Amino acid sequence: MALAKRLLAAATVASMVALGASAASAADEIKVGILRFASHSPSMIAKAKGYFADEDLDVTFVPFQAAQPMAVAIASRDIDFGMTAISGGLVSLADKGAVKVIGGALMETDDVEGQKILASKAAYDAGFTDPSGLKGKRFGVTTAGSSFHYMASKVGEAEGLKTGDFRIVPLQKVPAVIASLKSGQIDSWSIVPNIASAISAGGDVVEIGKISDYIPGYQVTTVFTSTANVEDRPDLVKRFLAGLSKGIADYNAAFVDKTMSDADSAEIVKIVHEYVYADMPLDKADKRIRAGAMRINEGAALNVESVEDQLEWFKAEKLVPEGVTMDDLVDTQFVTTN
């Protein structure tokens, strides 16, 4: 009888260990697309600080160099979530029922310095000293239908210019745009302030304006996923946004509102440095990561009005199907909207 009890106890312990191991391995494995920009810090922070793990998510990052390929990867299910600008490619995929915007991220706000409009030194010296001189100039973008294209068009429109009054130059990748601007192969570009400040420091590039003067309340980047995740795995979407929202709160506290202690914000910089300016010494990267940080919407709140303006621009430019609607593009059930 004693032996039977011991065997039963051993079997019970083994069962509990097995159940524990099963629970420990139950985290959902997901892939998250990132650009190696400080504005993508919330995902990096959420992973490093265990916020995703707290939501039973095992996250692997997949780096990209432009927004549109990330949208394609979402549609093909090569990645599960992304956080970047709305592009023509993303809208077209939404029209096909493949992807959905589920939240907001980087946004132009009155209390924080936002994206800069830049000119090459050569163009500046030739008289292109503010955006009103955009006519006849070459504006660099990653791809046609990218957020850079949208910004350029809105600036031109505000300055009384029509499509064709200046040239959009697609260069595929951000590093290629930077190199072309520095060398004078293009005349203008717009980018987030930390990158703008870094490339202006060498003297080959000059700041000539800011996007907030042309597109107030601009929802610069959004959070998106596959339509299949929204429809079939809404709990997964909620858990991802919950973990991401904690990363957003830390990002804003460390870099925007500066309410985090020096020691804690330094730890945040170390986390981000693993992905952003990783080829630089930490002390040099620290300044660039902190410089010009723009606000990211708490709780991934979404400015629907701004997204709708972007959608209407894409349609007007015939960069996306005419019949695509906001319902095709956005699902507002997961976050606060404004």
Indicate which CATH number applies to the domain containing 234: 3.40.190.10
Report pTM: 0.84
pLDDT at 133 over 70: yes
Q: How many domains does the chain have?
A: 2
2, part of any domain:
no
* Confidence label for 173 from pLDDT (cuts 50, 70 and 90): confident
Residues 45 and 100 in one domain: yes
Residues 185 and 241 in one domain: no
Residues 236 and 324 in one domain: yes
- Residues pairing with 256 in the sheet: none
pLDDT at 25 over 70: no
Please give the sequence-ordered ranges of beta strands (E in DSSP) within the chain, or none if there are none.
28-35, 57-64, 81-84, 99-104, 116-120, 138-141, 167-170, 188-191, 205-210, 222-226
Amino acid in position 314: F
Residues 103 and 233 in one domain: yes
| pLDDT more than 90, % of the chain | 73
pLDDT at 111 over 60: yes
Taking phi over 0 as left and psi of -120 to 50 as alpha, with beta for the rest, 81 belongs to: beta
pLDDT at 317 over 80: yes
The string of pLDDT tens digits covering residues 237-258 is: 999 999 999 999 999 999 999 9
Residues 208 and 126 in one domain: yes
Q: Which of 181, 213, 245 delimits the end of a domain?
A: 213
Per the structure, the complete domain to which residue 293 belongs is given by: 28-107+219-329
Residues 141 and 271 in one domain: no
Residues 303 and 232 in one domain: yes
Q: Which of 155, 184, 213 delimits the end of a domain?
A: 213
Residues 160 and 124 in one domain: yes
pLDDT at 178 over 50: yes
17, part of any domain:
no
* Confidence label for 113 from pLDDT (cuts 50, 70 and 90): confident
